[in-house]
Amino acid sequence: MQKYDRMLTKTHSLINFSINFLFHFCDVFNKLRKKWGVNWFQFTLIFCTFALGGSLCGYLGRKLLGVTDLEKGVLYFVVYIVVITCLWPLCVIIISIPFGQFNFFRAYLERIWGRIAKK
């Protein structure tokens, strides 16, 4: 019976943690949505654009480095990070067009470049 009580306590703790995490996660998304001044549908499209743009960027980066003869060592990963950093804005802008979020991402990238240019 004691083993069952410990198992039940662990299960209860896991459920409690999961619910707290979910509420925190939703709160963070809601704050981000309000900061950007968008509705939930547009927020979902923006989030999908970030996800697909990042995935496309990683895929293209691996393909580009596959053409080179670099072995997977320190130099490979340094070049990969540079390639990804250069490709990401292009990938996100391209993916944003079919999602109808081009204006949002154009303004977003202008803000990022403005901050980088100040430094």
Look at 49-58, 90-99, 108-117 and tell me which has the smallest mean pLDDT: 108-117
The set of residues, in sequence order, having a beta carbon less than 8 Å from that of 61 and lying 6+ positions away, is: 80, 83, 84, 87
pLDDT tier, 21 (very low <50, low <70, confident <90, very high otherwise): confident
Chain centroid to Cα 103, Å, comes to: 19
The Cβ-side half-sphere exposure at 2, using a 13 Å CA radius, reads 0
pTM for the whole thing?
A: 0.74
State the Cα–Cα distance between residues 63 and 68, nearest whole angstrom.
9
Contact 57, 95 (CB under 8 A): no
Rounded Cα distance, 103 and 119, in Å: 25
pLDDT value at position 8? 59
Q: How far apart are CA 36 and CA 16, in angstroms?
A: 30
Tens of pLDDT, residues 62-106: 999 888 887 888 888 899 999 999 999 999 999 999 999 999 999
- Spatial CB neighbours of 100, under 8 Å, sequence gap ≥ 6: 45
pLDDT for 16 = 79
Under the banding of pLDDT at 50, 70 and 90, the label for residue 4 is: low
